[in-house]
């Protein structure tokens, strides 16, 4: 399967890096990228062929991945018109809706929306997938194969569910890094070396996630097990509750979902 990425930034690079690690041939991947430094980086680091504008390569591709920023999708999609074939189009743009993509692509119907995340680069991504009924089983399987090569996949039933996926797992790695940064800062303020602080923060996170992923007990039960009455963890959790940290996280994720919806309105119109 030949894939052409339109936009070769952070997310496209993470996906391509993951696909190559999984044994995909660099020759089967092309990238259209407007920025010359980004093209050079892609050719140097990922050894994929790039171009400044869509050309004959689009016709040869089985699948087109729209991987530009939401505000750039309209222009990038319109530059593909008329699509030279009935290629499968995958959009990873946050918020941008199928009806707008289809309009920009002259009524093209073989479009699937996907919300991946950057751990794809470490083959540990998770993507939310949505396809309308018009998209057949073979296309759904192709999307699963591409995104499944770089992590887990979850189909959602309604297109608007992708706004929630965007807020939870698309943006989610940033929340996790934020928490790790805070733990590291605390470790340093308590007198540990920078090296020890990073190691302790990262390994604690990785270990706790590993335990939780095993799924023998829900995260709340695992938390209770660490929390002895009158002990250190109890004191810390009390402080987190007083700071309304859980509420702040829920509020933050809701705000992200709302932003995804608003981006769909803002960048989906033709003004
Ligand atoms: N980053 C994430 O964690 C993440 C996660 C899930 C989904 N996404 C989605 O992935 C998409 C890309 O995000 P990103 O973070 O990878 O953005 P990015 O790093 O800005 O990458 C987009 C790249 O496409 C280039 N570009 C703009 N217009 C183009 C066109 N018409 N043809 C070809 N290339 C063009 C941009 O160049 P210029 O910089 O010169 O404009 C930029 O290099 C977004 O829609 C976002 O919602 C991102």
The H-or-E segment that residue 140 falls in is helix 137-148
**What is the 231 CA–ligand 1 centroid distance (Å)?**
47
In a domain, 63, yes or no: yes
pLDDT given at position 33: 97
pLDDT at 152 over 80: yes
Same domain, 130 and 19: yes
Indicate the pairing of strand 125-130 with strand 111-115.
antiparallel
Can you give the CATH number for the domain in which 132 is found?
A: 3.40.50.720
Given a cut of 70, whether residue 262 has pLDDT beyond it is: yes
Examine the fold and report which residue of 125, 157, 189 is the final residue of a domain before the chain moves on: 157
- Both 121 and 181 in one domain: the answer is no
Based on the domain organization, do 144 and 200 belong to the same domain? Answer: no
In this predicted structure, the answer to whether residue 164 has a pLDDT above a threshold of 80 is yes
Q: Is the full-model pTM beyond 0.85?
A: yes
Question: Would you say how long the chain is, in residues?
Answer: 271
Query: Is the pLDDT score of 236 beyond 70?
Result: yes
Sheet hosting strand 151-155, strand order edge to edge = 49-51, 29-32, 3-6, 63-66, 88-91, 111-115, 125-130, 151-155
- Residue to mutate, 34, 71, 81, 130, ligand 1, most ligand atoms under 8 Å from C-beta: 34
Q: What is the CATH number of the domain that holds 182?
A: 1.10.3730.10
- In angstroms, the CA 150 to CA 16 distance is 9
Of 126, 157, 188, which marks where a domain is finished?
A: 157
Identify which of 114, 110, 225 has the alpha carbon closest to the alpha carbon of residue 159.
114
What's the pLDDT score for residue 270?
Answer: 83
Identify the residue whose C-alpha is closest to ligand 1 atom 35. Answer: 7
Statement: residue 110 has pLDDT above 80: yes
Question: 10 CA distance to ligand 1 centroid (A)?
Answer: 7
Q: Are 85 and 108 in contact (CB under 8 A)?
A: no
Tell me the C-alpha distance between 190 and 182, whole Å: 12
Q: Give a yes or no: residue 271 inside a domain.
A: no
Residues 201 and 248 in one domain: yes
Consecutive H or E run containing 127? strand 125-130
Q: Do 153 and 180 belong together in one domain?
A: no
Q: Is residue 270 part of a domain?
A: no
Q: Are residues 184 and 122 in the same domain?
A: no
| 3 state SS of 123 | coil
Pocket (CB within 6 angstroms of ligand 1): 6-12, 32-35, 38, 67-70, 72, 75-76, 79, 92-94, 115-118, 170
The count of other CB atoms within 10 Å of the CB of residue 9 is 17
Residue 216 structural domain: 172-259
Q: How large is the average pLDDT for residues 44-48?
A: 97
- Nearest ligand 1 atom to the CA of 174 is 3
Distances, alpha carbon 194 to alpha carbons 10, 130, 177, 181, 270, in Å: 28, 43, 16, 12, 50
Q: Whose CA is nearest to atom 25 of ligand 1?
A: 7
Q: Would you tell me how many other CB atoms lie within 10 Å of the CB of residue 130?
A: 21
Mean pLDDT calculated for residue range 3-24: 95
User: Is the pLDDT confidence value at 243 over 70?
Assistant: yes
C-alpha to C-alpha distances, 257 to 70, 171, 244, 253, 264, nearest whole angstrom: 14, 10, 20, 6, 11
Q: Residue 269 above 90 pLDDT?
A: no
213 and 104 together in one domain: no
Centre of ligand 1 from the C-alpha of residue 77, in Å: 13
Which pLDDT score, from 0 to 100, does residue 226 have?
94
Assess whether 30 and 143 both reside in one domain: yes
Please give the DSSP secondary-structure letter assigned to residue 53.
Answer: S
pLDDT for 59 beyond 90: no
pLDDT score for 57: 87
Q: Give the DSSP H or E segment for 189.
A: helix 172-189
Query: Which residue, judged by its Cα, is nearest atom 27 of ligand 1?
Result: 68
Residue 21 C-alpha to ligand 1 middle, in angstroms?
A: 21
Give me the pLDDT at residue 55, please: 87
Q: Which domain-ending residue is among 157, 192, 227?
A: 157
CA–centroid distance, 196 to ligand 1, in Å, is 35
Q: Are residues 39 and 147 in the same domain?
A: yes
For the chain, percent of residues with pLDDT exceeding 90: 92
Please give the pLDDT value at position 173: 97
Q: Evaluate whether residue 24 is within a structural domain.
A: yes
Ligand 1 pocket: which of 68, 163, 171, 262 to mutate (most atoms <8 Å of CB)? 68
Angle, alpha carbons 202-207-209 (nearest 5°): 95
> Does residue 271 carry a pLDDT above 70?
no
Overall domain count for the chain: 2
């Amino acid at each position: 399967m030949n894939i052409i990425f339109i936009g070769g930034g952070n997310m496209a690079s993470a996906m391509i890096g993951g696909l190559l690690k999984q044994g995909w041939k660099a020759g089967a991947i092309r990238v259209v990228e407007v920025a010359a430094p980004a093209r050079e980086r892609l050719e140097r680091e990922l050894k994929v062929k790039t171009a400044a504008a869509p050309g004959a390569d689009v016709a040869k591709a089985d699948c087109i991945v729209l991987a530009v920023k939401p505000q750039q999708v309209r222009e990038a999609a319109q530059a593909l018109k008329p699509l030279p074939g009935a290629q499968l189009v995958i959009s990873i743009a946050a918020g941008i809706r199928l009806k707008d993509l289809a309009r920009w692509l002259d009524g093209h119907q073989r479009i699937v929306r996907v919300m991946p995340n950057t751990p794809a680069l470490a083959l540990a991504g998770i993507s939310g997938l949505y396809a309308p009924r018009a998209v057949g089983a073979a296309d759904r399987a192709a999307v699963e194969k591409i995104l499944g090569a770089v992590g887990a996949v979850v189909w959602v039933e309604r297109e608007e569910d992708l706004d929630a996926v965007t807020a939870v797992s698309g943006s989610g790695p940033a929340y996790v890094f934020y928490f790790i940064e805070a733990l590291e800062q605390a470790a340093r303020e308590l007198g540990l070396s920078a090296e020890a602080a990073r190691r302790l923060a990262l390994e604690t996170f990785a270990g706790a996630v590993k335990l939780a992923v095993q799924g023998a007990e829900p995260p709340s039960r695992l938390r209770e097990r660490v929390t002895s009455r009158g002990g250190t963890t109890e004191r810390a959790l009390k402080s987190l509750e007083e700071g309304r940290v859980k509420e702040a996280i829920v509020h933050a994720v809701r705000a992200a979902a709302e932003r995804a919806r608003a981006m769909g309105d803002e960048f989906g119109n033709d003004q």
